[in-house]
Structure 1
Amino acid sequence: MSNFILTGTPGSGKTAILRQLEIHGYAVVEEAATDVIALHHALGHREPWRDPDFIDRIVDLQRKRQLTVGPMIHRTTFFDRSPVCTLALSRHLSLAAPRPLLDEIDRVLTDHVYERTVFFVRSQGFVQATAARRISLEDSHVFEQIHEDTYRSLGFELIAVAPDRLPARVAVVEDVVEGLRRKS
């Protein structure tokens, strides 16, 4: 079983890539932050990212999803973000990383939950606003750099998925996965 992280700045096209990978037969585990935001919007809370426990909620949902699917899946799985992304988000929001987040990062690194090769989907040069995505293009570029620096600081190898047509972006991911499979 190989667990790969697919990440990138908001609006980079991650979700489209993940949907195509899912259609190609790969398992996909959904992003937690967007779901935490959507739930709190549904409960009438307009800016859940301002709550002191926002990061903890994301970490909790990420961990539950990872632990739930981990033992059940015996094939290549793509995770839409990871706790490392949550650390980058806390840095972007100028929040101290809470202990549960640091513990979760330690756990996933120690237990080798994810492959060290991470697919980093690059910005397409625009951001489509949604209820959960309220970031400007300029801020998304800042976040992209924080995100990249955070992964590199923890020793991950980033594979850039450049802006291109969807089939070409998916092919980059599948070609790297196939190459890694042949090496092992």
Structure 2
Amino acid sequence: MPGYILTGAPGAGKTAILRHLEVDGHPVVEEAATDVIALHQALGLAEPWREPDFADRVLDLQRRRRRRAETHGAEIVFHDRSPVCTLALCRHLGLTPPSALLDEIERMTAERTVFLVRNQGFVEATAARRISFEESLVFERIHELTYREAGFDLVDVPAGPLATRVAAIKQAVDRLRAAKVRT
């Protein structure tokens, strides 16, 4: 099952792109950190990302969602973030990444192409997204460096209208798949 990861700064438009791809018929794997944050905030914990087991909780949800997507047997799956993003988040927050996270990244073999969705020039705050635009630029760079260090192939998705970004991703996937057939 070939998979492609969407990554980038908070508020860059990854989820909107994912929704568009899903409506177009592609299976998707939802982002986990935001949902872990939302659940724990609903349970009364204001800043769950400061908890020592935060990265473990995110990784656990990522794993369950990935296993669920694998049951589809689809030709192409799009992932909103990955364990490498969780590592970038640990680095951004100054947390020691759990060994299970590092092990999971080592085991990732199917999703080697990552679409780096560039920021749109602003960030809208939410209960889970409490980051300034300036901080988001730093976080975008941490994501980029973390993926490069882990040996993933990055494809840049520049800012722009949603339909243009989705079309660029689909064209890149078509090119990548065609190149793989030729080899």
Structure 1 length as normaliser, TM-score? 0.95
For residue 75 of structure 1, report the CA deviation from its aligned partner: 2.0
- Write the letter of the residue equivalent to 1:123: N
**CA deviation digits over 1:110-150, x for unaligned, max 9?**
xx131x22100001110000111111111101111111000
Alignment correspondent of 1:106: 106
Name whichever of 65-74 and 15-24 sits farther off. 65-74
For residue 69 of structure 1, report the CA deviation from its aligned partner: 1.6
- Write the letter of the residue equivalent to 1:163: A
Question: Take 1:121 and 1:74, find their aligned partners in 2: how far apart are those partners?
Answer: 23
Q: Kindly indicate whether the alpha-carbon contact (under 8 Å) linking 1:27 and 1:75 is maintained by their aligned counterparts in 2.
A: no
Alignment correspondent of 1:164: 160
Q: Kindly indicate whether the alpha-carbon contact (under 8 Å) linking 2:115 and 2:156 is maintained by their aligned counterparts in 1.
A: yes
Alignment correspondent of 2:125: 129
Matches within 5 A, 1:1-184: 1-108=1-108, 112-114=109-111, 116-183=112-179, 184=181
- Write the letter of the residue equivalent to 1:151: Y
- Write the letter of the residue equivalent to 2:12: S
Question: Take 1:153 and 1:181, find their aligned partners in 2: how far apart are those partners?
Answer: 24
Question: Take 1:160 and 1:130, find their aligned partners in 2: how far apart are those partners?
Answer: 26
Aligned length: 180
Structure 2 length as normaliser, TM-score? 0.95
Question: Take 1:80 and 1:117, find their aligned partners in 2: how far apart are those partners?
Answer: 13
Corresponding residue SS for 1:158: strand
For residue 64 of structure 1, report the CA deviation from its aligned partner: 1.1
- Write the letter of the residue equivalent to 2:138: V
Structure 2: gaps (5+ residues) = none
**CA deviation digits over 1:79-135, x for unaligned, max 9?**
000000000000000111111111111222xxx131x22100001110000111111
Q: Percent identity?
A: 61
Q: Kindly indicate whether the alpha-carbon contact (under 8 Å) linking 2:59 and 2:83 is maintained by their aligned counterparts in 1.
A: yes
Corresponding residue SS for 1:4: strand
- Write the letter of the residue equivalent to 1:4: Y
**CA deviation digits over 1:51-75, x for unaligned, max 9?**
0000110011111111222133322
